[in-house]
Amino acid sequence: MRSKIVAGNWKMNNNNKESIQLIEDLKAAIKNEELSNTRVIVAPTFVNLATSISAANGSSIEVVAQNMHQAKNGAYTGEISADMLKAIDVKTVILGHSERRTYFNETDASLAEKVDAILANDLETIFCFGELLEDRKSDNHFAVVESQLKNALFHLEASAWKSIVLAYEPVWAIGTGETASPEQAQEMHAFIRSIIEKKYNKEVADGVSILYGGSVKPANAEEIFSKPDVDGGLIGGAALKVADFTAIIKAI
Ligand code: 13P
């Protein structure tokens, strides 16, 4: 059975002290929650990963990275390798976030290399993708999502998909307060599962967790999560407030 996941992408927020505090608060808030088959994840910035991992120690909170470089090591000033992440016990890395694609020129081709590096290092990825507003307005959203997945992931063997979590994040819903409706999310998630089934098989398609991201808040989480192909959320702004993030976890 695929896992339910609530993941907080902290983006470029929280210094070291704030990161530790948020994890401590979250630990206390979910201590007595029944989280069967549900993973709770937070993604602090690189510089705060090690102390965040220590802070989360002994709890069920997983601490993951927001990005990773594809090369093993070398002259890539400012970048972080899989080896470096593994050495501090990071097991999962977010890749392909629309902010990385937009502001840091990440492409389907470079993301395919990053995904290969994830697999070569026995890591897991939460792989993000989603259409722009103009794609949706021109009714191109299914084609855009299909090409993002094909270009970055469909070269993988079926067996690799146990290390992949998908996060559908329509760009027009990120940080805008405008969410996809639960029906729009379900429609896209079902489409994603159908193209994975066509390319691979039903077992792979049914096994992959597909998260929705884009202005998920306590007020809308339960309805979005109630859809059969929505396996949880990748949360931005609301993950920075312990009460909101906890409410979203409870919604699942
Ligand atoms: P918001 O929840 O702030 O819209 O951000 C979503 C997101 O980008 C998570 O990766």
pLDDT score recorded for residue 229: 98
73 Cα to the center of ligand 1, angstroms:
30
Element (H, E) at 196: helix 182-199
Q: How confident is the model at residue 167 (pLDDT cuts 50, 70, 90)?
A: very high
Q: What is the pLDDT of residues 43-62, one digit of tens each?
A: 999 999 999 999 999 999 99
247 Cα to the center of ligand 1, angstroms:
16
Asked if residue 95 has pLDDT above 90, the reply is yes
Best mutation site among 101, 133, 174 for ligand 1 pocket (most ligand atoms within 8 Å of CB)? 174
Q: From the CB of 170, is ligand 1 less than 6 Å away?
A: no
DSSP output for 33-55? ---TTEEEEEE--GGGHHHHHHH
Q: What is the pLDDT of residues 19-31, one digit of tens each?
A: 999 999 999 999 9
Q: Could you identify the atom of ligand 1 that is nearest to the CA of residue 237? A: 3
Catalytic residue positions, numbered: 97, 169
Question: How many residues are listed for the chain in this entry?
Answer: 252
Is 3.20.20.70 the CATH number for 66-241? yes
8 Cα to the center of ligand 1, angstroms:
8
Q: What is the mean pLDDT of residues 57-75?
A: 97
Asked if residue 32 has pLDDT above 90, the reply is no
Say if pTM beats, i.e. exceeds, 0.85: yes
Sole residue written with tokens 């998630």: 189
pLDDT score recorded for residue 188: 98
CA 191 – CA 178 distance, rounded (Å): 21
Asked if residue 157 has pLDDT above 90, the reply is yes
Q: From the CB of 43, is ligand 1 less than 6 Å away?
A: no
Q: From the CB of 244, is ligand 1 less than 6 Å away?
A: no
In the chain the beta strands, taken as DSSP E runs, fall at 4-9, 38-43, 61-63, 92-95, 124-129, 164-168, 210-213, 232-235
Question: Which of 2-11, 34-43, 182-191, 207-216 has the weakest average pLDDT?
Answer: 34-43
Q: How confident is the model at residue 136 (pLDDT cuts 50, 70, 90)?
A: very high
Q: From the CB of 5, is ligand 1 less than 6 Å away?
A: no
